[in-house]
Amino acid sequence: MSDPSSVTADPSMIGGVTAAPFAHLPKPDSMFARRAARFDALAENSELAPYLRFLAGLARAQHAVQAALPPPDALDRAALERSREFGMPLLDRDSIRTDPSTGKLLRALLDEAAAIEMPAQAAAALARVREADESTRDEMLRDVLADAIPADALAEHAFVAAAMQVQFARLASMLDVKLLDVLHPGTCPACGGAPVASMVVGWIGAEATRYCACSMCATLWHHVRVKCVLCDSTSAMAYREIEGGPGTIKAECCGTCHGYVKILDERKDTALEPVADDVGSLGLDVLLRETEYRRGSFNPFLLGA
């Protein structure tokens, strides 16, 4: 692993203006299988291989649970329009947390995850969640939905977060994309989640457009390049990467708020997947610990980075 001096700025990053859709909704039927494949691919040449393979298994469990569920009930259009009118995320986290379908989905994910090959510590954490009473599970759901996972219970909450990713991706996929609008910087317009990373895409009709990827529901929303994802500042932006790397993953560092969020270049590698590649590029987070920048994104599988 390189030392901090190998983290170099990228002066070539420039903004671009394109006429592209503001948002892209998740595709729960395929996204978890794709994520699992990416975790497996990253594990082939990584020091994090055991953990990446575990996360691949967890993503496959997410895919299996999603595939076995009936379609969600139709969303309340009037409620969605009220949320938009008041500048709120369209999906209400509290009402989803208390919906009976959420508890059922969580139990299904926990049961499916029991078949994953995992370290003893992870297995013990899974057992604690499966044996927890409804009140304890509800508190875990509150923590996950507030992006405030306790440091002493990271493993337990990772399983709960995996279930919530399935639930919110399913619901977000049913939204009318035309209702999505810009909210506070760093906030998913669909569910209010924090970004896990941003990605510059090469899709037809969105060439060189940058989208933030929600850590919860996987909705993608447009954010102007060379503009901080966290505070919207356009001053003192710098890009850092591990010297000698492929140039596909960099940290966009803001000199105003001193936060950073990774930016992935899907044009250079179409296999990139925000959640998986955020974990796979942990080395970049390690290097940035030696700088003034703090991690501003959220990933329930990379807490403590």
| 263-285: pLDDT as tens digits | 999 999 999 999 999 999 999 99
End-to-end CA, the chain:
16
Task: Evaluate if residue 217 carries a pLDDT over 60.
Answer: yes
Fold match between domain 4-23+178-295 and domain 44-176: yes
Q: Enumerate the β-bridge partners of residue 294.
A: 259
- Token pair 């992006």: residue: 147
pLDDT of residue 75: 95
Beta pairing class for 249-254 and 259-265: antiparallel
* Residue spans per domain, the chain: 4-23+178-295, 44-176
Which positions ≥6 away from 170 have C-beta within 8 Å? 28, 66, 69, 72
248 near 228, Cβ under 8 Å? Answer: no
Residues 4-23+178-295, CATH architecture: Alpha-Beta Complex (3.90)
- pLDDT tier at 304, thresholds 50, 70, 90: low
- pLDDT tier at 245, thresholds 50, 70, 90: confident
Task: Evaluate if residue 210 carries a pLDDT over 90.
Answer: yes
187 near 89, Cβ under 8 Å? Answer: yes
pLDDT of residue 1: 40
223 near 212, Cβ under 8 Å? Answer: yes
Can you list the alpha helix ranges (DSSP code H) found in the chain? 28-43, 49-68, 77-85, 93-98, 100-113, 120-131, 134-145, 154-172, 274-280, 282-288
Regarding the domain delimited by 44-176, which CATH topology (the fold level of the hierarchy) does it fall under?
Answer: FdhE-like fold (3.90.1670)
pLDDT of residue 305: 56
- Give this prediction's pTM: 0.91
pLDDT of residue 7: 44
CA dist 33 and 36 (Å) reads 5
Beta pairing class for 195-201 and 209-214: antiparallel
